[in-house]
């Protein structure tokens, strides 16, 4: 597609960033902090994208609070985080990119706490696919905790955000390896503007889970019948525009389902995070027959397809936990009470009573829970070979809670190809001058399957790299 370059620019900024989620705001904060004149373009009427409704879980081997050490939850390291991420992605990941995420995770979390006022709960959880207790939970229970912190830092440093600003093209003279990106075309209301990026353009526009045609082109099994946890703006056009000016993409067929979404609406609300945070403390997943169907510590794709393989007539499945687990797995009693009022959580004084409320066979559910309690006591799970740890809590004392769950399309692991410096690489393996990318729009970090709670450290770490390097470009 050939488009005539603009004769003039309506606006000029040093660094132009597309997308106002974790990656975009982190990039804006760092670029502005290095003295660049920065604008963040957001096509939606509100800032934050998927990040603001993210589950608020953040994987880092440590933080300034050292909760893992204080709670005696075992050892961890960036190296172990890297190894888990590579294994979780079936080794399709690019190791150098994984290393940047793992190395940057703790520092980025502390940065958001210290400079942005982000708050985390006094626990860490062990999520599916992770071999350590490293997942930190936001006090707000959603990603807004971190987007607000990043927005605060970015604005304090002088970055500006323009809402209702839809990018409709990326300007580049030609695909010659030396030809830099020049800027973007933007639709703002009835106006079409051309905005110059004097130093660099950063893509932080997220994935394409909401574009059914695009996702099915890469993964045909994700038919329209699948719900989606994403906000409506996750439609992938920036990936297509980047391809049009020569950018390479990779692993676009790797699209993740979130196993624990609300079964009817597919939203990822606060109750939907409890099944994810619970496995390290003894939560149990059961089907309509009252039986376990998967190792609860398995990674997301395994948990999702274990449910799908049960058959559509077995929708939904449930997670069962008790009050003693709530605080340890990053929840709060206030959240549970709110979830009960909305009907998202179900409460019972006994497992038998819970079975009646869920309409599943009582004897089967009682046996399943008693067996699981015994496995925790004995330190061995003969049914699913789950790794039992000393902090897991048997479901003996109530009150007991359950939450319904079912898989929904959630995250795109693939995207534009980037270098360790967050620069976009073209189809010939060369860096496209003055073009960067970070977050879900970029591929290669997570491989075939993203481990839960790796999204935020990925986006923030690479957002910081992209913003720092973009600001160093010559205008």
Q: Where in the chain is the domain with CATH 3.90.700.10?
A: 259-409
pLDDT in tens, 28-76: 999 999 999 999 999 999 999 999 999 999 999 999 999 999 999 999 9
Look at residue 100 in the predicted model and tell me its pLDDT.
Answer: 98
- The total of other beta-carbon atoms located within 10 Å of residue 8's CB is 6
CB 181 within 8 A of CB 210: no
Q: How far is residue 418's CA from residue 301's CA, in Å, rounded to a whole number?
A: 25
pLDDT in tens, 280-333: 999 999 999 999 999 999 999 999 999 999 999 999 999 999 999 999 999 999
CB 254 within 8 A of CB 447: yes
CB 441 within 8 A of CB 362: no
The residues pairing with 406 across neighbouring beta strands, listed in sequence order, are: 261
Give percent of the chain with pLDDT exceeding 90: 99
Look at residue 2 in the predicted model and tell me its pLDDT.
Answer: 64
Q: Considering the chain, what is the average pLDDT of its residues?
A: 97
Can you tell me whether residue 135 is helix, strand or coil?
strand
The residues pairing with 184 across neighbouring beta strands, listed in sequence order, are: 170, 195
Q: How far is residue 130's CA from residue 115's CA, in Å, rounded to a whole number?
A: 28
Look at residue 1 in the predicted model and tell me its pLDDT.
Answer: 52
Catalytic residues: 300
The closest of 61, 65, 67, 58 to 22, measured between CA atoms, is 58
CB 448 within 8 A of CB 92: yes
Q: How far is residue 277's CA from residue 275's CA, in Å, rounded to a whole number?
A: 6
Confidence of residue 267 (pLDDT cuts 50, 70, 90): very high
* Cβ-based burial of 378 (10 A; exposed 0-12, middle 13-18, buried ≥19): exposed
212-221 burial, b at 16+ Cβ within 10 Å, e below that, comes to bebbeebbee
* Mean per-residue pLDDT, 106-111: 98
Look at residue 3 in the predicted model and tell me its pLDDT.
Answer: 84
Q: Where are the beta strands (DSSP E) in 330-450?
A: 345-348, 400-412, 415-416, 423-425, 431-437
Please say if the pLDDT value at position 334 is more than 70: yes
Q: State both tokens at 116.
A: 């942005």
Q: How far is residue 27's CA from residue 159's CA, in Å, rounded to a whole number?
A: 10
Q: State both tokens at 124.
A: 């860490």
448, 56, 308, 446: CA torsion to nearest 10: 0
pLDDT in tens, 278-290: 999 999 999 999 9
Can you tell me whether residue 372 is helix, strand or coil?
helix
- Domain 259-409 indexed as CATH 3.90.700.10: yes
Q: Where in the chain is the domain with CATH 3.50.50.60?
A: 11-254+413-472
Look at residue 32 in the predicted model and tell me its pLDDT.
Answer: 98
Please say if the pLDDT value at position 385 is more than 90: yes
* Mean per-residue pLDDT, 248-262: 98
In what order do the strands lie in the sheet containing 120-125? 57-59, 135-138, 120-125
At the topology level, CATH places domain 11-254+413-472 in: FAD/NAD(P)-binding domain (3.50.50)
* Mean per-residue pLDDT, 397-409: 98
Please say if the pLDDT value at position 449 is more than 70: yes
The closest of 451, 422, 438 to 150, measured between CA atoms, is 438
* Mean per-residue pLDDT, 191-205: 98
């Amino acid at each position: 597609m050939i488009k005539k370059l603009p004769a003039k620019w309506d606006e000029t900024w040093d660094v132009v960033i597309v997308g106002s989620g974790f990656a975009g705001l982190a990039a804006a904060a760092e670029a502005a902090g290095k003295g660049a004149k920065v604008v963040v373009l957001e096509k939606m009427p509100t800032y934050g994208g998927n990040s603001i409704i993210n589950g608020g879980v953040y994987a880092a081997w440590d933080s300034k609070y050292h909760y893992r050490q204080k709670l005696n939850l075992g050892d961890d390291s960036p190296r172990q985080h890297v190894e888990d991420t590579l294994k979780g992605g079936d080794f399709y990941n690019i190791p150098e990119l994984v290393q940047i995420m793992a190395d940057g995770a703790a520092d980025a979390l502390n940065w958001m706490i210290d400079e942005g006022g982000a708050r985390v709960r006094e626990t860490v959880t062990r999520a599916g696919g992770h071999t350590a207790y490293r997942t930190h939970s936001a006090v707000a229970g959603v990603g807004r905790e971190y987007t607000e912190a990043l927005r605060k830092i970015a604005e304090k440093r002088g970055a500006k955000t323009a809402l209702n600003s839809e990018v409709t093209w990326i300007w580049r003279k030609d695909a010659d390896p030396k030809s830099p990106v020049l800027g973007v075309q933007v639709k703002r209301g009835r106006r079409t503007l051309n905005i110059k990026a004097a130093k660099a353009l950063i893509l932080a526009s997220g994935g394409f889970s909401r574009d059914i045609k695009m996702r099915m082109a890469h993964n045909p099994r994700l038919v329209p019948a699948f719900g989606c946890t994403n906000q409506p703006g996750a439609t992938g056009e920036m990936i297509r525009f980047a391809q049009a000016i020569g950018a390479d993409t990779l692993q676009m067929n790797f699209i993740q389902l979130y196993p624990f979404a609300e079964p009817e609406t597919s939203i990822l609300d606060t109750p939907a995070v409890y099944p994810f945070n619970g496995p390290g403390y003894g939560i149990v997943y059961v089907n309509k027959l009252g039986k376990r169907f998967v190792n609860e510590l398995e990674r997301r794709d395994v948990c999702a397809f274990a449910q799908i393989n049960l058959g559509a007539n077995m929708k939904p499945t449930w997670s069962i936990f008790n009050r003693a687990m709530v605080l340890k797995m990053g929840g709060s009693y206030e959240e549970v009470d709110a979830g009960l009022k909305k009907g998202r959580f179900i409460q019972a004084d006994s497992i038998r009573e819970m079975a009646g409320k869920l309409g599943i066979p009582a004897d089967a559910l009682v046996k399943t829970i008693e067996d699981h309690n015994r496995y925790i006591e004995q330190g061995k799970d003969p049914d699913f070979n789950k790794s039992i740890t000393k902090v897991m809590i048997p479901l003996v004392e109530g009150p007991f809670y359950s939450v319904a769950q079912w898989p929904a399309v959630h995250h795109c692991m693939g995207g534009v190809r980037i270098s360790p410096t967050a620069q976009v690489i073209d189809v010939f393996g060369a860096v496209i001058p003055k073009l960067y990318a970070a977050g879900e729009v970029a591929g290669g970090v997570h491989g075939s399957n993203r481990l839960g709670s790796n999204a935020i450290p990925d986006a923030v770490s690479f957002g910081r790299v992209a913003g720092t390097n973009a600001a160093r470009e010559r205008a």
